Amino acid sequence: MEENPFPAWSWSVEQCLKEYNVRIDKGLSSYEVEKRRERYGWNELTKEKGKPLWRLVLEQFDDMLVKILLVAAFISFILAYLHGDECEELGFEAYVEPFVIVLILVLNAIVGVIQETNAEKALEALKEMQCESGKVLRDGYFVPDLPARELVPGDIVELRVGDKVPADMRVAALKTSTLRVEQSSLTGEAMPVLKGTSPIFMDDCELQAKENMVFAGTTVVNGSCICIVVNTGMNTEIGKIQTQIHEASLEESNTPLKKKLDEFGNRLTTVIGLVCLIVWVINYKYFLTWDLVNGWPTNFRFSFEKCTYYFKIAVALAVAAIPEGLPAVITTCLALGTRKMAQKNAIVRKLPSVETLGCTTVICSDKTGTLTTNQMSATEFFTLGGKITSSRIFHVEGSTYDPKDGGIVDWNCYNMDANLQAMAEICAVCNDAGIFCNGRLFRATGLPTEAALKVLVEKMGVPDVKARNKIRDTQLAASYLIDRSTVKLGCCEWWTKRSKRVATLEFDRIRKSMSVLVREPTGRNRLLVKGAVESLLERSSHVQLADGSLVPLDEPYRQLLLLRNLEMSSKGLRCLGLAYKDDLGEFSDYYTETHPAHKKLLDPACYSSIESELVFVGVVGLRDPPRDEVHKAIDDCREAGIKVMVITGDNKSTAEAICQEIRLFSEGEQLKGASFTGKEFMALSPSEQIEILSKPGGKVFSRAEPRHKQEIVRMLKEMGEIVAMTGDGVNDAPALKLADIGIAMGITGTEVAKEASDMVLADDNFSTIVSAVAEGRSIYNNMKAFIRYMISSNVGEVISIFLTAALSIPECMIPVQLLWVNLVTDGPPATALGFNPADVDIMRKPPRKSDDALINSWVLFRYLVIGSYVGIATVGVFILWYTQASFLGINLVSDGHTLVELSQLRNWGECSSWSNFTVTPFTVGDGRVITFSNPCDYFSVGKVKAATLSLSVLVAIEMFNSLNALSEDNSLVTMPPWRNPWLLVAMSFSFGMHCLILYVPFLADVFGIVPLSLNEWFLVILVSAPVILIDEVLKLVGRRRRWKRKKKKTA
């Protein structure tokens, strides 16, 4: 049950305990737990009810082209059934057509259902993030492993290092001096967050600022505490994200291509409907006759047989007009595109995303892990030289936790001076982190900043030459080991063995530092301290110079060091100060818990006094560095007309510094109006928000929560932008789902983000998106090529049927033949056009507008001209066979068939009333003789040869037409066929398939055709080839028109 949660973060611990009627030392009673469970339910994410299978199947048929085909199949079935008794030969063959249509539709539906059922796994992945059990106080006793689903608001829970948080909870008491929680997957913060118990006096508080709350699904990385459960199940932050993912999945809109195809389908439906009606109506005189008496029609005579015959022609026209192979060819082309993309590290989860990428206008990128490596690394450090005024700055290369990744620039301090030795010792020993290798990725255990310091020590080396050589040999041997998971940090180990740790002074917020007490090789104790630079300088009395001498630290020198620190932090670096203390008083001989001074170590209030009178050593600057390839990728986006927006959960100054470094903003550019926190942006009016988003140039949104990300994506979509959104955390999942294309990280990404996405980057690299966009653009161009090809072919088929009906001659082709052409012979060349090489300047053009026409008026005119020729050629060859003895020197009557007049052919329905009409038997290619018991059968059974010629001309023309589709405007002279060898292979295959149905007797009977002689093949090629010349002329005219327009613009 949903409750309105109270703002626990702004209430004191006592108020929270009172609100839940619970004592921190007793917990809830079993009776109270049961009562609350009835009210709040179980602590688990509810499973949204998926669509039932029957609904999914039905949805696949909710498409205009599919509906027309279904109607065509139904009518074909009825007509086949009605004519079943008329002819004994009609058996299985009569039902081939409806059977094939239904088979295509069923296959399409199966593919659609599979895609749909795979789409909603993101919510399941969220459940895996939930904690299994927790240590809970019930009836005054701690239950060590209570299943997390049994928690209710008001429960008292203990959390320790490594625990996954089981619900949203208010921190009630700290059991250690500090508590840190890793919540980057929920908020996007690069660093683990310090938690405390003090209330935050803000009612509308962003997630990152709720420093006294821990959230379900996050992990404790340091310390332990007692908490009060505040929200469970769907009321937790992770539950809200599940709701957002579900809402975003309901908002999912069609891809630009799908919209265009739907639009095209609707228009085609209207045209088909009108043409079918016209074809049927202009032949009314054959099935409806009457007598005129006194100017009025009487004695109506209706022929049902003729009516259904012409109705069948109209159905054939519908089948001809619909490119049935289009869905299959598009799927194949997209699948080939996904293979190409996978080779470039972009794994596409949803096929249509390939095409959507091509028209992306805005990329909304997460910062941590996408633009940056999500691995802290030391990039700079400084210590003092021979004088207090001379500082030495060292630059460090490498952006990962791999100690071998980069090194210190111009490093020649292997025999380290006192200052560098102190620095290395503090970084190595005052440190609890570790590093392990997970496959090819180095990861940190413990705090990322501490892991980065350990990597720095490895790059610095050790002062002992003998030890240095030994460490190098050990590392060399380790690189050959099979088990590479543990990374041996030889230099750090050398320092930890040399300086034995005896006590730790935990970090706290007040002094902003941590320290360790170590036993030096001399037998004396030393305190090693690291922390916030300002805090350490306040408590330092001396500074150490390179030679080891100490100089008192007065105010001017302190300001000089603070200025150095400011220079480093202005570059977006997180600065850590390093110091030590030798004069330890009562702690100088501390060794164990029995020592009299031990009680002071148990009281954090004493830590500041212990860490006073320090000797300041230097400063290390750390950051999550940008990836090397990002600069170029941002430039490529700019050139391709794609806007880049960075949306991150990190703080404003860090985000701005990284964005300036990756050149999202030009040097010296004012960030006013380009950089906002999520809260600042949401506080603006809608008109101001739209104005900011529509301005050119980069934008950065920091401290963004999941709802902010979603809102920005939604606004961009409403503005007509095609949005690609990248992300790796749970917090990114709703926006990934809502974006036109959601892109998740493959290495650092959570399962939730991957399942919500359309595409996964195998290398987590922003530049991979840019190469995927180029691939998407190329695929779209190729799809346009084959859609144009298929449509021009279909226009030709429609015109041929229309001419057949208009001239009242017998039908040249039956629906099953047209289906064969559309599916089998058109399919391979159309698919092969998907292999057309990409244009060289593909990423120098602006993204196409999502409402750009798939076929503009000039292209439509061209294909009407081509279609008209296809129609005239297919009908023309049919008429030639019946009426002409020869054509351009080719003898057409060598088979012995009877010639008729064109007028007889046009009035073939009245054949029974002709006197003295006789026909002679004729032979077909396989030596078979066609004979007639009734001379009028010459126009039905006898048209088999003429129909074969028509079908063969149609197939041949479409093969030549596929060559025309290689380029929209370029001539075959500049874009020769061998530029795409796959097309030549596909043409050969299609022609081979056509020959198969011609020369295999069983198939020839099914399709109602006969084998052709060599002479007849000559005729087919002669009639088909001119289609290339016609399109070459039209392309030339198109090029001239474009050149004139360009000239006008430049004039």
Distances (CA, A) of 751 to 33, 122, 760: 33, 7, 11
Closest C-alpha to 761, from 780, 744, 748: 744
Rounded to whole angstroms, the Cα distance separating 630 from 662 reads 6
What are 486's strand-pairing partners? 436
Between the two ends of the chain, the Cα-to-Cα distance in Å is: 70
Q: Decide if 135 contacts 156 (C-beta within 8 A).
A: no
Using CB atoms within 10 Å of the CB of residue 890, give its burial: 0 to 12 exposed, 13 to 18 middle, 19+ buried: middle
Q: Decide if 990 contacts 829 (C-beta within 8 A).
A: yes
DSSP string, 160-223: -TTPBP-SEEEEEEESSS--EEE-HHHH--SSPEE--SS----SS--GGG-TTEE-TT-EEEE-
* Secondary structure class of 27 (helix, strand, coil): coil
Residues designated as active site: 366
Rounded to whole angstroms, the Cα distance separating 1016 from 887 reads 11
Q: Decide if 131 contacts 217 (C-beta within 8 A).
A: yes
Burial 991-1010 (b: 16+ CB within 10 A, else e): bebbeebbeeeeebebbbbb
* DSSP classification of residue 715: H
Rounded to whole angstroms, the Cα distance separating 278 from 806 reads 9
Q: Decide if 937 contacts 810 (C-beta within 8 A).
A: no
* Secondary structure class of 52 (helix, strand, coil): coil
Compute the CA torsion angle 598, 603, 604, 607 (nearest 10 deg): -40
* Secondary structure class of 10 (helix, strand, coil): helix
Closest C-alpha to 319, from 792, 824, 817: 817
Q: Decide if 188 contacts 366 (C-beta within 8 A).
A: yes
Length of the chain: 1051
Q: Decide if 205 contacts 9 (C-beta within 8 A).
A: yes
Q: What angle do CA 709, 713, 718 make, to 5 degrees?
A: 150
Q: At what angle do helices 766-807 and 304-321 cross, to 10 degrees?
A: 150
Compute the CA torsion angle 678, 682, 687, 691 (nearest 10 deg): 0
- Tokens for 376, please give them: 């802290």
Using CB atoms within 10 Å of the CB of residue 846, give its burial: 0 to 12 exposed, 13 to 18 middle, 19+ buried: exposed
**What does the H/E/C string look like for 115-140?**
HHHHCCCHHHHHHHHCCCEEEEEECC
Which H helix or E strand runs over 382? strand 377-384
Using CB atoms within 10 Å of the CB of residue 18, give its burial: 0 to 12 exposed, 13 to 18 middle, 19+ buried: exposed
Kindly list the strands in the beta sheet with 180-182, ordered across the sheet, starting from the edge strand earlier in the chain: 193-194, 180-182, 219-222
Rounded to whole angstroms, the Cα distance separating 282 from 802 reads 10
DSSP string, 834-855: GGPPPPTTGGGSPPPPTT--SS
**The tokens 């048929």 sit on which residue?**
61
Q: At what angle do helices 465-478 and 490-498 cross, to 10 degrees?
A: 140
What are 973's strand-pairing partners? none
Q: Decide if 1024 contacts 956 (C-beta within 8 A).
A: yes
